Copies of this chain bind each other. A is one copy, B any other.
Amino acid sequence: MTTAQTPVRELAFGELYARVQNFYAHHMHLLDSGAAAEWAETFTEDGVFAPPSAPEPIVGRQALTAGAREAKARLDEIGEQHRHVLVSLDLIPNDDGSLTTRTYAQIIATPRGGEPRLFLMCVTYDHLVFEAGELRVHHRRVTRDDRP
């Protein structure tokens, strides 16, 4: 881990790319496993999540936690495990040290005792920032392929 102390602005592209991929894996596993408050902590304090299904954006960790908790409770009720898989990362490092990303998002649903299915295909547009060396989602917008 030779680059742990390197200022983020001096990180090579490959280093940034891996850190973002690892961040997304961790971030989505928290959501999928129902760790709602820990998931909200991976947003900035004033983080914004504009999902396609909500009438208006969800803002701030408290609202993010509540939203994730409610979504998980609904899935537990119907006995489904969801997995959010972010692939095809397109990463643009910005001059201010923040990152602009676009990913394809597969949401996969598996009912207890049943076969998995591709539930939603989305595109996710993020603005990520580093806070004390840790990546955080500052702003997220998601579009659904079934609603062009």
Seen from chain A, the residues whose Cβ lies within 8 Å of a Cβ on chain B are: 1-4, 10-19, 21-22, 24-26, 28-29, 81, 83, 85-91, 93, 102-104, 106, 108, 110-121, 145-148
Contacts and interface: CB of A to CB of B under 8 A. Distances in A.
A120 to B, nearest CB: 7
A116 B88 contact: no
A117 to B, nearest CB: 6
Contacts of A10: 2
Contacts of A87: 85, 87
A81 B148 CA distance: 8
A102 B32 CA distance: 14
A108 B17 CA distance: 24
Contact of A13 (B15, B108, B114): B15
A15 B14 CA distance: 4
A79 to B, nearest CB: 8
B1 A93 contact: yes
A72 to B, nearest CB: 13
Contact of A145 (B3, B17, B81, B106): B81
Nearest to A118: B116
A143 B84 CA distance: 16
